[in-house]
Amino acid sequence: MHKKALSLGFTMAAVALFGVLGAALTADEIFDRMDAEADLLAEGSMVSKIQFDNSYGDGTTASNLFGSLGKPNFSLIYFIEPADVQGTIFLTHEAQEADGDNRLWLYLPILGIPKELVSEEERGGSFAGSSLSYEDLGENDRSEDYDSVVLGEEELMVGELTRTAYKVESTAKADADVDTLRTIIWVDTEFFIMLKMEGYNDLGNLESTMQVMELGEFEGKLSANVMLAENVTDGSSTSITILDQHRPDAEIADEVFAPENLTAFDPAAWGF
């Protein structure tokens, strides 16, 4: 009787184990969940205020304050401070085709017309002197350029919280036109937000990192309140702080995100 019970116990344990293994998410499924959570966050529109604090390799610093509007497929970032760049707008339209590129525009008040960022040099330019490029902020679906695998799960300390994360490695495909050939990303297993990222160059050397430094809560879900992006190559870094995040009274109209309407954008209407 004891042997039968023991055998049954092992059988049930094996079934449970294989059930867990069979339900494990692939890297692409994890990224799909990340995208889905981001879309849910943007659904119904979002208004935010964000501060960038930049530190450079020569010891100098600079800060920028932005207002941000977002909804699925659209993002608009309005430069509030400093005064010499006030009124600048960065606009993103998400690609609707699986293999398409997001469309990016930069509106400079001194020029009076929005300019679409098309060339690699334009899209790779530093966003407001930060460690992030325009391309980083308007990033496409990475599955088009990378092959990704799940390396396992790890526990990370984020501020005072311990979180379990999927560790996902992505390697650029042979024909991909990308600057970062390999990345490792840690994704929260419960809320599917990125907690940490490392980017490596073609020599295998670490060249950039992004890490959540402080977590908060928005609408009952975990959210990143403070992030730190670092350029290991030149020693610069950018701390990104979400100062405010709220839903507007009504969904933001698509017309607000039209490039031809940027000249008439009213920051006061959004509390900027």
Q: How confident is the model over 249-259, as pLDDT tens digits?
A: 999 999 999 99
CA distances from 25 to 109, 166, 189, 214 (A): 46, 9, 10, 26
How buried is 90 (Cβ within 10 angstroms: 0-12 exposed, 13-18 middle, 19+ buried)?
A: buried
Q: Which residue has the tokens 């001194």?
A: 110
The answer on pLDDT for 141 being more than 70 is: no
Residues in the chain: 272
Q: Is residue 246 part of a domain?
A: yes
Q: How many domains does the chain have?
A: 1
Percent of the chain with pLDDT over 90: 69
Least confident of 33-47, 161-175, 251-265: 33-47
Bond from prior residue into 267 cis (ω within 30 degrees of 0): no
Q: Is residue 267 part of a domain?
A: no
| Overall average pLDDT of the 208-225 stretch | 95
| Overall average pLDDT of the 38-48 stretch | 85
- From its phi and psi, is residue 97 left (phi > 0), alpha (psi between -120 and 50) or beta? beta
Q: Is residue 20 part of a domain?
A: no
Q: Is residue 14 part of a domain?
A: no
pLDDT tens per residue, range 107-126: 999 999 999 999 888 888 88
Q: Is residue 269 part of a domain?
A: no
Q: Which domain holds residue 214?
A: 27-262
Q: Is residue 108 part of a domain?
A: yes
Q: Is residue 244 part of a domain?
A: yes
What CATH number is associated with residue 153?
2.50.20.10
Q: What is the pLDDT of residue 6?
A: 39
41: its two tokens = 């966050």
Reported as a pLDDT band with limits 50, 70 and 90, residue 10 is very low
The answer on pLDDT for 39 being more than 60 is: yes
